[in-house]
C-alpha cells in the first residue's frame, strides 16, 4: 500500500487519533454520514456494510465521489457532498430473497444497490471448502437478503473464482437466483502466476486479467472490478483508460479501488474527469477492530468515498 497520505505523516495521524479518543462521545458513533458501500468481507465471510463509506475524501472537486466497499458506505463517483444513502429492504418474493429485513443501499454515487451485508471468499472458497459448501453458504446468504459477493483473481490463485462461478451457475440452474439478482465483484493486481506482465494495473494485465477472471467465474461480466492495490509503475492515465475500456466492452459495469491512498484516488478521479471517463465508485480500505483510523479517525480528509474491508 502506498505511503502517500492526503495530509500529515503517521505521527500526525497518531495525534489525531489520540485527540479523537479523548473527545469522542460515549454513545455509539453515528455511521449514517456518507453514501452507501459494499463491504468486502475480508478473510472471514460475512461483512457488515455501514452507511459510512468514505475512502479518502474531501469535499472539493475534482474528486467529488465516494469510494465504497462494504464496511462503510460512500463511493468514488464524485467528491462533492454525497447524497444521503438510500435504503430499501429485501423483497419478500419467492425467487428473490424471502427475508424482508436486509437493507439495501446505493453504492457510492452510482445507481447500483447492494445489501448492507456481503459475503466474501478470501481464505475460504477453495482453501477451506469446495463448490458444494460454497453453494450452500451463498444460498443461505442470499436467502437472508445478501446480494453482494466478493472475490479476487489472487484468492487461491484463481481457485476461489472457479468455486464461486460454479456456485452461481448451480444457483441459476436450481432457480434460486438469476445472474441479474447478484452483484459480483472481483479484484485485479496480483495475478495468478509469475511473469513480468502477470500482475499490476497495466492495460495489458487489466484486459487479460479480467478476461481470465470472467472465464473462471463463467460469466460474461462482473458488476464491479477493483484495482486490488495501486500500481506506482503504471501511469495513472493508462489504468483509468483500461478500466474504462473494459466497462465500454461490457465486461464490467463499474470499477473501484482497494487500499489506495487519498491522493491516488484523487488523481484517478481527476484524470477520469479530464478525459470524460468513468470514475471509480468504490474503495476498499483496511478496516477492523485493530485498524480503524482510515474509516473512523481520518475520514480521508473529507472526501465522500465508500469504505469497505480489505483483504
Looking at the annotation, which residues are catalytic? 155
Q: Which of 37, 70, 114, 76 is nearest to 278 (CA)?
A: 76
DSSP secondary structure, 145-214, as one string: T--EEE--TTGGGGHHHHHHHHHHHHHHHTTS--GGG-EEEEEESS-SS-STTSSSS-HHHHHHHHHHHH
* Distance in angstroms (rounded) separating the CA atoms of residues 75 and 278: 13
Q: Which of 147, 164, 148, 168 is nearest to 156 (CA)?
A: 164
* Distance in angstroms (rounded) separating the CA atoms of residues 77 and 224: 13
115 bridge partner residues: 104
Amino acid at each position: 500500500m502506498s505511503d502517500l497520505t492526503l495530509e500529515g505523516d503517521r505521527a500526525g495521524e497518531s495525534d489525531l487519533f489520540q485527540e479523537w479518543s479523548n473527545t469522542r462521545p460515549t454513545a455509539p458513533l453515528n455511521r449514517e454520514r456518507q453514501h452507501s458501500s459494499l463491504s468486502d468481507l475480508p478473510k472471514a465471510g460475512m461483512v457488515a456494510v455501514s452507511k459510512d463509506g468514505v475512502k479518502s475524501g474531501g469535499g472539493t472537486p475534482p474528486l467529488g465521489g465516494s469510494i465504497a466497499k462494504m464496511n462503510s458506505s460512500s463511493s468514488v463517483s464524485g467528491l462533492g457532498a454525497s447524497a444521503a444513502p438510500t435504503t430499501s429492504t429485501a423483497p419478500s418474493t419467492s425467487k428473490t430473497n424471502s427475508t424482508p429485513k436486509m437493507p439495501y443501499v446505493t453504492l457510492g454515487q452510482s445507481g447500483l444497490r447492494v445489501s448492507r451485508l456481503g459475503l466474501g471468499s478470501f481464505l475460504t472458497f477453495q482453501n477451506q471448502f469446495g463448490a458444494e459448501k460454497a453453494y450452500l453458504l451463498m444460498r443461505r446468504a442470499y436467502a437472508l437478503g445478501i446480494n453482494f459477493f466478493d472475490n479476487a483473481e489472487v484468492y487461491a490463485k484463481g481457485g476461489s473464482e472457479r468455486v464461486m462461478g460454479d456456485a452461481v451457475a448451480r444457483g441459476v440452474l436450481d432457480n434460486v437466483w438469476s445472474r441479474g439478482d447478484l452483484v459480483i465483484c472481483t479484484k485485479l493486481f496480483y495475478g495468478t502466476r509469475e511473469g513480468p506482465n502477470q500482475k499490476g494495473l497495466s492495460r495489458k494485465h487489466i484486459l487479460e486479467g479480467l478476461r481470465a477472471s470472467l472465464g473462471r467465474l463463467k460469466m460474461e461480466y462482473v458488476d464491479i472490478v477493483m484495482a486490488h492495490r495501486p500500481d506506482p509503475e503504471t501511469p495513472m492515465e493508462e489504468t483509468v483508460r483500461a478500466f474504462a475500456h473494459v466497462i465500454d466492452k461490457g465486461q464490467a459495469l463499474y470499477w473501484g479501488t482497494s487500499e489506495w491512498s487519498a491522493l491516488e484516488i484523487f488523481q484517478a478521479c481527476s484524470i477520469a474527469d479530464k478525459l470524460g471517463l468513468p470514475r471509480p465508485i468504490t474503495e476498499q480500505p483496511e478496516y477492523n477492530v485493530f485498524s480503524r483510523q482510515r474509516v473512523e479517525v481520518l475520514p480521508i480528509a473529507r472526501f465522500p468515498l465508500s469504505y469497505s474491508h480489505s483483504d
